[in-house]
Chain A
Amino acid sequence: MIFALLIWIVAARPAFAQAQLKMDNLDRLASAAAEVVNVTIDEQLLQLASKFLSATRSADERDIKELVRDLKGVYVKRFEFDRDNGYTQSDIDPLLKQLHAPAWARIVGVTSTRELKNIEVFMMTEGSLIKGIAVVAAQPRELTVVNVVGPIDIDKLSRLQGQFGIPQLDLGSKPK
């Protein structure tokens, strides 16, 4: 009976793990980048971080706390280069290969020749459940990869911009 219950619990739990991208190959870009933001927050750390966000202290913190409540992980890598072509297509290809798997669907793909920007937004769903999103934004001097694992409200996430009353943090910046 207990064994059957355990099997049911394991089977019923949504498999969010596959929504997590392997981004290790991008780490080698850090040595050529002028600025690096590398944030890796798994479920355990998310829960810990959530404890330190106060729903009563500010509206921003309340929104973030609510947004990340069911998330399994947040992974962000941003590289800023002093000159063009700090990275090559071969650096992004392993990432795009993962995102071109059937589990992922590209919901936005936009290229601006004027701003020299290419942004692609991918989403992994199972029925009505969002299992994760991935964003790849490429510019000649900047590469940003965002991977949010778990059910996320994209509208709420995009509304967060500009609401943060916090200074830009120098997290994981390359030592000079």
Chain B
Amino acid sequence: MNLERLLREAMARKTPPPDLVDRVVARIERHDIPQVRLSFWRANQRLLRVAAAVLIVASIGFGVLRDRDARRERQQGELAARQLMTALQIASETLNDAQRLVQQRQ
């Protein structure tokens, strides 16, 4: 086999068949073109990006709210604890006062 001859034949200029354009147009009109199937992720890339952004923002918002609630509960709890100690201190003082007066009378 002569390599030089083969190359020359392969690279030789050929005239396309006269009905090539008609055939291509006809196939396009018939939708007879193989569809390139994109994966779900590639097809909905934009939507997924928006969804991811929404998810991140919602997570941050939820975290902030939870933190605020926890802080508020801690403040309420600490205040209630101090109030409780004050209330019990007054109760204790008053009871001891009563006991002292009773003992004085005896």
- Interface of A with B (CB < 8 Å)? 37, 39, 41, 45-46, 48-53, 60, 64, 67-68, 74-76, 78, 108, 110, 112, 115, 117, 119, 121, 135, 137, 144, 146, 148, 154, 157-161, 164, 166, 168-169, 171
Contact = CB atoms under 8 A, between A and B. Distances in A.
Contacts of A53: 81, 84
Contacts of B84: 39, 41, 46, 49, 53, 64, 68, 74
B78 A161 contact: no
Contacts of B88: 64, 67-68, 74, 157, 160
Contacts of A45: 76, 80
Contacts of A117: 97, 101
A112 B98 contact: no
Interface on chain A toward B: helix, strand, loop, or mixed SS?
mixed
Contact of A39 (B76, B78, B83, B93): B83
B99 to A, nearest CB: 7
Contacts of A112: 101, 104
Contacts of B104: 112
B69 interface: no
A154 B88 CA distance: 11
B102 A37 contact: no
28 contacts: A37-B86, A39-B83, A39-B87, A39-B90, A41-B80, A41-B84, A41-B87, A46-B84, A52-B74, A52-B80, A52-B81, A53-B84, A64-B84, A68-B88, A74-B84, A74-B87, A75-B87, A108-B98, A115-B101, A117-B101, A119-B94, A121-B95, A135-B95, A158-B92, A160-B89, A161-B93, A169-B86, A171-B86
A157 B93 CA distance: 9
A110 B94 CA distance: 12
Nearest to A164: B89
A105 B92 CA distance: 19
Contacts of A161: 89, 92-93, 95-96
Contact of B81 (A49, A121, A146, A148): A49
B80 A146 contact: no
- Which of B77, B89, B104 has the most C-beta atoms of chain A within 10 angstroms of its own C-beta? B89
A119 B87 contact: no
B45 to A, nearest CB: 48
A110 B105 contact: yes
B73 interface: yes
